[in-house]
Amino acid sequence: MPAHRLTSEVIETEAGLRALIGEPTELVCSKMTDRLNELTRKFIELSPLVCLATSDEHGNCDVSPRGDPAGFVRVLDDTTLLMPERPGNRIADSLRNILRNPHVGLLFVIPGVTDSFRVNGRATLTTDTQLLAPSTLEGKAPKLGILVDIDVAYTQCSKAFLRSSFWDASRFHDRSVLPTNGEIFRAIKGDAFDAATYDEERAARYARREGFY
C-alpha cells in the first residue's frame, strides 16, 4: 500500500494493525455464525432500515439505505434472506455491483435501539413472482428482489450509536440547516438551474408517494 498523499504515517500490514489495536477476544469471535437463530431473527424482523454495501469486480464500493415497514427483509430460512427492491433513481449502483460481484454486507438498524445486526453474504437478483408476492405494499409487488445467502451473521455492539448519541432527540437537526437537493443541483449545474421549482415538485411527488412502490 503506497503512502497517502497527505501523510507517510500509514499502516501497511495486518501485523502492524494488530500491534496497534490488539486481538479480538474469543468471546467476541464466537458470536459470528453462518446462520440465524430464533433470537437473532428478531433483529431483522424489527428493522425498518438496512444499509446495503456492495462492490464491483474492481473493488469500487457503494453503500445504500433500504427502508420499508419493519420486517421488510424477509427471513426465508436460517441462512437465506429476501430484500424487495423498490423503485429508485435507476442508477442501480447496488444492483449492477451484485451482477459483477455477489458479495454484500447488510447492517440492520432498529429505531431507538443501540445494538445493530450485521450480515455478510452472497446476493442473487431474482424476479420470482411467488417469492416476491409477500412483499407487496400499497397494492404493488416488487419486480425484483435480492436473495442473500448468509455467510456470517452477528450483533454489532452499541458503541457507535452511544458515542454519537444517535437516538438522542435533543440532538436532532432540523432539515433546514442543510442545503436542499435543488440547491445542491444548482451548485453542480450552475445558477440557471431552478432549485426552488425542483424542490417543490420533488416534495409534491413525495407527498403523493409517487414512485414509492
On whether both 94 and 190 belong to a single domain, the answer is: no
Note whether residue 6 is domain-resident. no
Q: Which CATH number does the domain housing residue 104 bear?
A: 2.30.110.10
On whether both 140 and 45 belong to a single domain, the answer is: yes
Tens of pLDDT, residue by residue over 90-145, are 999 999 999 999 999 999 999 999 999 999 999 999 999 999 999 999 999 999 99
Note whether residue 5 is domain-resident. no
Note whether residue 1 is domain-resident. no
* Strand partners of residue 51: 65, 107
* Confidence (pTM): 0.95
On whether both 143 and 195 belong to a single domain, the answer is: no
pLDDT for position 3: 79
> Under a CB-based contact definition with an 8 Å cutoff, are residues 61 and 32 in contact?
no
Residue-range definition of the domain harbouring residue 196 = 173-207
Rounded to whole angstroms, how far apart are CA atoms 131 and 30? 33
